[in-house]
Amino acid sequence: MQRIVILGNAGSGKSTLARALGKRLGVPVVHLDTLFWEPGWVEPDAGQFRERVRDALTTDAWVCEGNYARRTFDLRLPSADLIIWLDTPRLTCLRRVIVRSVLNRPRPDLPAGCREKLDRAFLEFLKFVWQFDHGYRQGIDAVRMAIGPTVPTVHLRGGRQIAAFLDRLPVTPATRPSLIN
């Protein structure tokens, strides 16, 4: 596994899992939200975004988290070794999104100038999170099947399954704990 794509609802744990995988495997992590959003939640030109994604995936190994199916699957899936779908329950996703927004801390998976706040756009985002499994997920999966039908896909639901998955992965020498004090 050298090129991993992580998919799932907002608040499902994509960024957290990506960081854990990147550390465990010793590979760079690509957060698509960081490449997509510009300060103040401004959307870039579609060509700019695709160029940023293309540039970020030029290495031999990476973990890339984020959906953006119609915009980037053709850039990511043909070279992916594995797709991980996080099947986190929507109430958990909703709770995580609300908590991180209320705490209003900077997030490493968002660019500077994009802080989550409680406003009308946030309420629309909560609606998106709630409806993800019934409205958006099928569309993402349809694009996945059209572009990357042969890429192995693992579904993980919950912390225990994620921990078990991580435990089965090899540890790179750079991340292996030292036995010498």
Cα–Cα distances in angstroms (integers) from residue 113 to residues 11, 19, 116, 120, 167, in the given order: 20, 21, 10, 18, 35
User: What are the average pLDDT values for consecutive 10-residue runs of the chain, which has 181 residues?
Assistant: 94 96 95 92 93 96 95 95 96 93 78 80 93 93 94 95 92 52 36
- Domain holding 125: CATH number? 3.40.50.300
Using CA atoms, how far apart are residues 137 and 66, in angstroms rounded to an integer? 12
Q: Which of 75, 100, 71 is nearest to 13 (CA)?
A: 100
Residue 94 lies in a domain: yes
Domain count, the chain: 1
Q: What are phi and psi of 32, to 5 degrees?
A: -60, -35
Both tokens of 154, joined, read 């693992």
Nearest to 36 by CA among 44, 26, 47: 44
In a domain, 24, yes or no: yes
Residue 179 lies in a domain: no
As given in the structure block, the two tokens for residue 168 are 């089965």
Contact 46, 12 (CB under 8 A): no
Q: What is the pLDDT of residues 8-17, one digit of tens each?
A: 999 999 999 9
Q: Which amino acid is at 160?
A: R
Over residues 114-155, the pLDDT tens digits come to 777 778 888 999 999 999 999 899 999 999 999 999 999 999
Reduced to 3 states (helix: H, G, I; strand: E, B; else coil), residue 82 is strand
Query: 84 with 6: CB under 8 angstroms?
Result: yes
Give residue 65's domain range: 3-168
Q: What percent of the chain has pLDDT over 70?
A: 94
